[in-house]
Amino acid sequence: MLPNSARIKSSSDFARVTKSGRRTTTDSLIAYLLLNQSNSASSSSSNSNSNSKNDDNPKLGLIISKSVGNSVVRHRIARQIRHASFNYLSLLPAGSLLVVRAMKRSNDAFTETKALFEKIVGTTKNQVRA
């Protein structure tokens, strides 16, 4: 399970990532990745050092549409996505924000999430090198 510090919670962060983040897709999942959010906002705030360290960690947010299924199905998919992303989230650059959107029911969201993260990590490494 993801720690609380690794989750996107504010609606403004969700909106910023989905509007200006890089988009990657699989059959039923869409990922939006916003690399290295501005450090000026975190340095100008009066947070303590422990809070600013948590801001440097990559964060994950989930959007699961009602068209995916009923509450039980949506929560199962959310658990599978969180579980699959646990090991991959640390591979993203510090301060990056990732939103995963489930658009339709997946037979195996766990495997599809792993494939999605492999695409994301591959493109992220190429961007960091350039």
What are the pLDDT digits (tens) for 72-94? 999 999 999 999 998 888 889 88
Label the pairing between strands 29-34 and 97-102.
antiparallel
Domain boundaries, the chain: 4-129
**Within 13 A of 10's CA, how many CA atoms are on the CB side?**
6
Work out the pLDDT band at 15, boundaries 50, 70, 90: very high
Work out the pLDDT band at 48, boundaries 50, 70, 90: very low
Compute, in degrees rounded to 10, the torsion defined by CA atoms 5, 2, 31, 108.
-170
The predicted structure's pLDDT at residue 38: 53
Q: Which CATH class is domain 4-129?
A: alpha beta
**Helices 71-88 and 109-129 sit at what angle, rounded to 10 degrees?**
40
Q: What distance in Å separates the CA atoms of residue 37 and residue 20, rounded to the nearest whole number?
A: 11
The predicted structure's pLDDT at residue 21: 92
Q: Using the predicted structure, report yes or no on whether residue 37 has a pLDDT greater than 90.
A: no
